[in-house]
């Protein structure tokens, strides 16, 4: 049996920029091991699989795989999957709803979709969980993992900390744009530090964006390095977690951040993040655009 797929570049309006995503449509019949093999074949940071919802009141059950594991939630797969599904509806002559609800392992992901004369014009998600904070990491160990000096780590706002709004990351603030540019994952440093409270990846960011003068303004520049020693061009779940952490430290009110990622690897991305402290925790979300790049069919791998 063959399955349709569509690829989209997410958090960008330019093909071959942003974060690529493969969306396998109507994926019922595929076993977990088959999904993992397909995700490994695409070798993108994530591949999503669209299944019928368990609750008919929801839009779909969405499973998300990296090349080496299934994850309970991720940002760019939700934005990209919503954009692809809305585009499928529009192409079929049906109006796309302005709200989707995806069932995922981390919980329900609520998504708003803006459409217009040019099709899907923007997607915004609310993370399925409020901010949770776990261990802080030693500065020296974090610096080693990123091939930096301890002086490059900025602890004036927060120490390097494990945080999550549905997917766990070690979030680290750096002192300068130059430090962010120099950062790179170190195999031995990662092995000595991670996993930490479930975090397998490091999201590094800086508020030093003055060095990017001449480009569209941003509040944050970020990079994310996985435990596979790869870099992710745009990480919605980590961006939302970072924004939630900064909102929690700031106190009341809505925090909105323009976040650029992927610039140093040639896949510039723009993520529009927000977070708000409420009585039941700090809730965060992220918005962006996506552009369709490829589509086709693939054969199902042999079942295990």
Token pair recorded at residue 132: 């949770």
The secondary structure of the chain in percent helix, strand, coil, rounded to multiples of 5, reads 25, 40, 35
Dihedral sign (CA 44, 199, 37, 124): negative
**Tokens 């329900």 appear where?**
108
Residue 18 is encoded by which pair of tokens? 């942003």
CB 187: neighbour CB atoms within 10 A? Answer: 10
CB atoms within 10 A of CB 52: 13
| Residue tagged active-site, from 14, 41, 46, 124 | 46
Among 27, 90, 110, residue whose Cα is nearest residue 64: 27
Q: Number of C-alpha atoms within 13 angstroms, CB side, residue 93?
A: 0
Give 101: exposed, middle or buried? Use CB within 10 Å, 0-12, 13-18, 19+: middle
- Give every CB contact of residue 20 below 8 A, 6+ residues apart in sequence: 7, 8, 9, 10, 44, 45, 233, 293
Query: How far apart (Å, rounded) are the C-alpha atoms in residues 127 and 141?
Result: 29
Question: Rounded distance, CA 247 to CA 185, Å?
Answer: 27
> Taking the chain, what is the end-to-end CA distance rounded to the nearest angstrom?
16
Whether 46 is a known active-site residue: answer: yes
Please give the C-alpha separations between residue 53 and each of 26, 183, 198, in angstroms, as whole numbers: 11, 41, 28
Q: How, if at all, do strands 231-232 and 202-206 pair? A: unpaired
Active-site residues, by number, are 46
């Amino acid at each position: 049996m063959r399955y349709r797929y569509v690829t989209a570049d997410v958090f960008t309006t330019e093909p071959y920029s942003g974060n690529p995503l493969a969306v396998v449509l109507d994926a019922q019949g595929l076993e977990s091991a088959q999904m993992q093999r397909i995700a490994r074949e695409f070798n993108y940071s994530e591949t999503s699989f669209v299944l019928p919802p368990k609750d008919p009141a929801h839009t779909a059950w969405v499973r998300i795989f990296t090349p080496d594991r299934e994850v309970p939630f991720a940002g760019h797969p939700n934005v990209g999957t919503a954009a692809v599904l809305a585009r499928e509806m529009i192409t079929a002559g049906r109006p796309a709803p302005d709200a989707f609800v995806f069932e995922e392992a981390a919980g329900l992901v609520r998504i708003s979709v803006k459409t217009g004369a040019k099709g899907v014009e923007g997607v915004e998600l609310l993370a399925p969980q409020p901010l949770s904070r776990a261990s802080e990491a030693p500065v020296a160990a974090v610096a080693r993992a990123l091939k930096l000096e301890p002086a490059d780590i900025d602890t004036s706002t927060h120490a390097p900390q494990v945080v999550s709004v549905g997917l766990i990351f070690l979030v680290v603030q750096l002192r300068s744009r130059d430090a962010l540019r120099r950062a790179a994952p170190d195999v031995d440093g990662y092995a000595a530090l991670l996993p930490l409270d479930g975090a397998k990846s490091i999201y590094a960011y800086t508020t030093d964006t003055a060095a990017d003068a001449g480009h569209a303004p941003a509040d944050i520049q970020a990079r994310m390095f996985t435990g596979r020693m790869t870099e992710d061009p745009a990480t919605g779940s980590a961006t939302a977690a970072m924004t939630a952490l900064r909102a929690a430290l700031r106190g009341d009110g809505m925090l909105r951040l323009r976040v650029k990622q992927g610039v140093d690897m040639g896949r510039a991305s723009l993520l529009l993040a927000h977070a708000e402290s409420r009585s039941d925790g700090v809730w965060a979300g992220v918005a962006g655009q996506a552009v369709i790049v490829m589509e086709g069919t693939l054969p199902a791998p042999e079942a295990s």
